Amino acid sequence: MPPTDPAPGTPARVLAAGGRTAATRAEAGYAPAGDPPAARTSVPAPRHRPESLHPGAWWLWALALGTAATRTTNPLLLALLVTVSAYVVITRRPHAPWSRSYGAFVKLALAVLVIRLLFTTVLGSPIPGTHTLFTLPEVPLPDWAQGIRLGGRVTAEGLAFALYDAMKLAALLVCVGAANALANPSRLLKSLPGALYETGVAVVVALTFAPNLIADVQRLRAARRLRGRPDKGVRGLLQVGLPVLEGALERSVALAAAMDARGYGRTAQVPAAVRRTTAALTLGGLLGVCAGTYGLLTAAGGTYGVPVLVLGVAAALAGLWLGGRRTVRTRYRPDRWGARAWLVTASGVAVAALMFLAAAREPAALHPGVVPLVAPALPLWPAAAVLLGLLPAFVAPAPHPVAPVPRPAGTALRPGTPAPHPTAPAPHPVPVKEPS
């Protein structure tokens, strides 16, 4: 059908709308509206997510770095591990609300350091030391509390031992925070086996609670600043806390309604023999994993630790595979485990394996002594092994840049206000009421 000219007197906005509609249809791959249906083409949706890294690869990489942190108390190596994870987070963290939880984990790690040093200062340390820093007034305790003291002499050796031990836990927390900031929790839930789906939903809801809570607090504090109300101190905290709790409750109710509408919890009919086999394999596999891990950690269990651990893992995987048959669910555009995911996982596993090897060959370098108190040295090849953890910063796909949002003349974004994602619509947060 040939195109017809617009009727005289057609408003300009109608003509513009028609032009935009035609352009939109052309970009979507459709023929003009006047063409026959045979000439129209459509672009099929991709079956997998393009340019995306499997979220499980981020978790395996971060857990491997955390495992490497547990094998040393050298503060220089632990600081290098934290620096490596922080660099990867800075370069590959996506622009999403759930990715802002990394700072909270860093603050939690710093709080662990401070609390451990305070406890060592007040309660003392079992490490004997000769370098006395200061002496606190000591409180006498009864005879049944022997081995515990309040106050007394504080030595440099005791504080150094407490600092080294606390840095190990702090580095582990930072690595877990890196996984939370890099891996999309909803995509991770889709990748779990069917037997772990219900448990995964609970874990994902728990993991996304803190980022949503932080986003609510930031939004409410910004609103109070715009209204000229205090957002700091005890008064500001009390007036912000109630709307945040109300928003969390409304979000929980909305989530429960959405899960109920989508048929969450439905199961398929599975024979009783399959259910009993699944339970036996899963329970036996978990017991085998525990026994094998215990054997690896003890000196006497080196002969049976590895075989029992391998059999336990195999039985647990078989139980998970059988247990997934009772879960009825589909996956839309699942994440593929591609070459990049293998490289990211391999970099973390390599760091953990090399740290295990270094702990066996150079225990003095990875566990510096505090009696006598000496400055820790940075071992070269374990430090080079830690630097392998930087590989995801170069092989993982970069996050999508945030395009600036056009604003009217004379207005500007407040400092620190994130712009919405250019390719996805902005999420609709649950309205949070603020008391007047």
Q: What is the pLDDT along the chain (436 residues), one digit of tens a residue?
A: 444 455 555 444 444 444 444 444 444 444 444 444 444 444 454 554 555 788 889 999 999 999 999 889 999 999 999 999 999 999 998 887 778 888 889 999 999 999 999 998 888 887 887 888 888 888 887 877 777 778 888 888 889 999 999 999 999 999 999 998 998 877 777 776 666 666 767 776 776 676 777 778 888 888 888 888 877 777 777 778 788 888 878 887 887 788 778 777 666 676 777 778 878 888 888 888 888 888 777 766 667 777 888 888 888 888 877 776 666 666 666 777 888 999 999 999 999 999 999 988 888 888 888 888 888 888 899 999 999 999 999 998 888 765 555 555 555 555 444 554 444 444 445 454 555 4
Could you tell me if 382 and 412 are in contact, meaning their C-beta atoms sit under 8 angstroms apart?
no
CA atoms within 13 A on the CB side of 135: 9
Contacts of 167 (CB under 8 A, 6+ apart): 73, 75, 78, 79, 113
Give the amino acid at 135: T
Rg of the chain over Cα atoms, rounded to whole angstroms, equals 29
Specify the pLDDT at position 24: 44
Give the amino acid at 385: A
Specify the pLDDT at position 76: 93
Specify the pLDDT at position 99: 80
Q: How far apart are CA 163 and CA 158, in angstroms?
A: 9
Could you tell me if 171 and 78 are in contact, meaning their C-beta atoms sit under 8 angstroms apart?
yes
Specify the pLDDT at position 385: 93
Q: How far apart are CA 88 and CA 174, in angstroms?
A: 12
Q: How far apart are CA 380 and CA 271, in angstroms?
A: 58
Output the six-digit token pair for 224. 């109070």
How many Cβ atoms from other residues are within 10 Å of residue 221's Cβ?
17
Could you tell me if 358 and 381 are in contact, meaning their C-beta atoms sit under 8 angstroms apart?
yes
Specify the pLDDT at position 238: 76
How many Cβ atoms from other residues are within 10 Å of residue 243's Cβ?
20
Could you tell me if 162 and 117 are in contact, meaning their C-beta atoms sit under 8 angstroms apart?
yes
Output the six-digit token pair for 184. 């999309």
pTM of the model: 0.65
Q: How far apart are CA 370 and CA 159, in angstroms?
A: 9
Q: Any idea which residue has 């007034």 for tokens? A: 137
Burial 328-340 (b: 16+ CB within 10 A, else e): eeeeeeebeeeeb
